[in-house]
């Protein structure tokens, strides 16, 4: 029996659930589908526990779902070549411990070292994907690996059985109803426009709630606990705790507990329209094949607006209603339009185009499938390295 490859994945949590969400999905897939011995180094166990309840907060070392989890407390520590994995991945340019890097240089053969970058639709990514970065002092070479939306990138993170599971779930209305009933969704709310809402605190949620509340079509909005707390609490008239709900006019808002990642996928699959944020839920919304709006993680000098526009140009260039909604949602300038959104008109335009948007979402999902999946593409490239 051959010894399985070992892999260390280093994750510093910046965007509470996006960073660890991506790394946890990647770690599980590498272990379960590719039979690699994976250790996930992570600095923020409380954020990790919100999406994976099995995580023990005071454990320095633990195993969950076949993955070894190591609490990454500091940059200190002594390491030898025996402590180093065959493949080393630093997520989003996090600095791994200097003594670990020094130990990497003592290995023979050298570990395959990757910087797994953040997701962007900008064109320059294709030219930077798999580029090398020699260490300035040590005999080590790091490769940049970019997820992306074309076959000249690493593709998007996706498990092998995800598409079949999604199709089976979405073809079974009873299964979707049973799933949503766990969160209190009634039969009447099942026939409403079902919306999942995951966004950063500065999203214009209160304005959208007002539009939905005064609209003609029933809307059932499902919000994870702790998301858009001020707007949700104002609408409810009470604490925005899991299980709380209220109906005002045409809008029902329900507060959901944070759920494990597989259940979050099902939530996206069961809803008609999804608001997502950061990177992890953004990618999962694309695999859901449903209409969605992306709340992008903010960057200095509004660099995130450039990234947002690059994605919209690829995704919905021919659907200006959803593009305008997305830009307003992110407080970005909408060309040829008023700086302040008339949310009633903006949402009405999206509603009018909903059938076309839904069709485009499904087409986009099928297009992304053709690029393969990130984990498999990364391992395939790793095998080409000396």
Q: Which of 15, 19, 43, 280 is catalytic?
A: 19
Name the nearest CA neighbour of 243 among 229, 263, 223.
Answer: 223
List residues bridging with 292 in a β-sheet.
274
Say how far apart CA 214 and CA 264 lie, in whole Å.
29
Say how far apart CA 112 and CA 89 lie, in whole Å.
8
Strand ranges, E, within the chain: 6-11, 37-42, 61-64, 67-71, 87-91, 112-116, 132-134, 141-145, 193-197, 219-224, 245-248, 251-256, 273-277, 292-295
Say how far apart CA 272 and CA 270 lie, in whole Å.
7
Contacts of 148 (CB under 8 A, 6+ apart): 119, 120, 121, 125, 126, 129, 154, 155, 156, 371
19 belongs to the catalytic site: yes
Joined together, the tokens standing for residue 76 give 């200190």
Using the 8-state DSSP alphabet, how is residue 207 labeled?
A: H
Contacts of 86 (CB under 8 A, 6+ apart): 5, 6, 7, 111, 112
Q: Which of 210, 279, 353, 373 is catalytic?
A: 279
Q: Would you state the torsion angle of the CA atoms of residues 276, 278, 282, 284, taken in this order, to the nearest 10 degrees?
A: -100
Say if residues 169 and 182 touch (Cβ distance below 8 Å). Answer: no
Indicate which residues carry an active-site annotation. 19, 279
């Amino acid at each position: 029996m051959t010894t399985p490859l070992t892999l260390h994945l280093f994750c510093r949590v910046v965007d509470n659930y996006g960073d660890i969400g991506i790394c946890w999905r990647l770690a599980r897939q590498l272990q379960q589908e590719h039979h690699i011995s994976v250790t996930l180094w992570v600095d923020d166990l409380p954020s990790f526990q919100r999406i994976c309840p099995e995580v023990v907060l005071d454990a320095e070392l633990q195993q969950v779902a076949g993955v070894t989890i190591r609490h990454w407390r500091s940059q200190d520590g002594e390491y030898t070549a025996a402590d180093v994995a065959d493949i080393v991945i630093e997520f989003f340019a996090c600095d791994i411990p200097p003594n670990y890097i020094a130990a990497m240089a003592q290995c023979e053969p050298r570990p395959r070292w990757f910087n797994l970058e953040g997701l962007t639709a900008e064109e320059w990514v294709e030219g930077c994907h798999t580029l090398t970065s020699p260490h300035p002092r040590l005999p080590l070479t790091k490769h940049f690996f970019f997820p992306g939306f074309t076959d000249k990138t690493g593709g998007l993170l996706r498990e092998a059985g995800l598409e079949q599971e999604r199709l089976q779930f979405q073809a079974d209305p009873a299964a979707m109803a049973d799933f949503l009933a766990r969160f209190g969704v009634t039969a009447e709310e099942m026939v409403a426009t079902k919306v999942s809402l995951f966004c950063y605190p500065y999203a214009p949620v209160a304005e959208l709630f007002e539009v939905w509340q005064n609209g003609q079509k029933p809307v059932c909005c499902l919000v994870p606990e702790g998301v858009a707390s001020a707007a949700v609490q104002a609408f409810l008239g009470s604490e925005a705790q899991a299980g709380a709900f209220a109906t005002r006019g045409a809008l029902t808002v329900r507060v959901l507990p944070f759920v494990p990642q597989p259940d979050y996928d099902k939530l996206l699959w069961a809803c008609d329209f999804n608001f997502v944020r950061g990177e992890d839920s953004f990618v999962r919304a694309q695999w859901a094949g449903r209409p969605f709006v992306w709340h992008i993680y903010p960057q200095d000098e509004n660099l995130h607006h450039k990234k947002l526009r690059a994605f919209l140009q690829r995704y919905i260039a021919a659907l200006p209603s959803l593009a305008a909604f997305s830009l307003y949602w992110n407080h970005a300038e909408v060309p040829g339009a008023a700086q302040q959104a008339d949310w009633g008109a903006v949402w009405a335009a999206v509603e009018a185009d909903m059938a076309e948007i839904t069709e485009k979402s499904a087409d986009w999902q099928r297009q992304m499938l053709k690029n393969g999946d990130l984990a498999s593409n990364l391992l395939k490239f790793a095998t080409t390295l000396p």
